[in-house]
Every structure is written in structure tokens, then in C-alpha cells.
Amino acid sequence: MSEFVGLIAKTEPETTLRKDLESFYAMNIKKVSNKIDKMQPKMVYRIPIRD
């Protein structure tokens, strides 16, 4: 699912869709990373949007 969203964002670089997706993922990645940091500090997952 994350790869699919990333592909959409890459194919439409100048749309509000991409900006919304990036801000949405930025917020959620932060939340998820914080949870994972508390549970397992050595394992932090990131979802790359840009190359």
C-alpha cells in the first residue's frame, strides 16, 4: 500500500495530491516512529516518498 501511494505521488509531482500525501505521511511516520522507538529503539521503519 505504501509503495502504491509513493508511486502516485511520484507520477504527479506538482499536484496538491502529492503535497497532501507528503504531509499526511510526514505526520504518520512521526507517530509510528515514536511508537516503534519506544517499543524497539533499534528498529525504525521509514516510508520513502522521494528518491
* Grid cell 516518498 in the structure block, residue: 49
Q: Is 24's pLDDT higher than 70?
A: yes
Check residue 1 and give its pLDDT.
Answer: 47
What does the chain come to in residues?
Answer: 51
Band (pLDDT 50/70/90 cuts) for residue 22 is confident
Instruction: Compute the mean pLDDT over every residue in the chain, rounded to the nearest whole number.
Output: 61
- Does 23 or 36 have the greater pLDDT score? 23
pLDDT of residue 23: 75
What type of residue is 40? Q
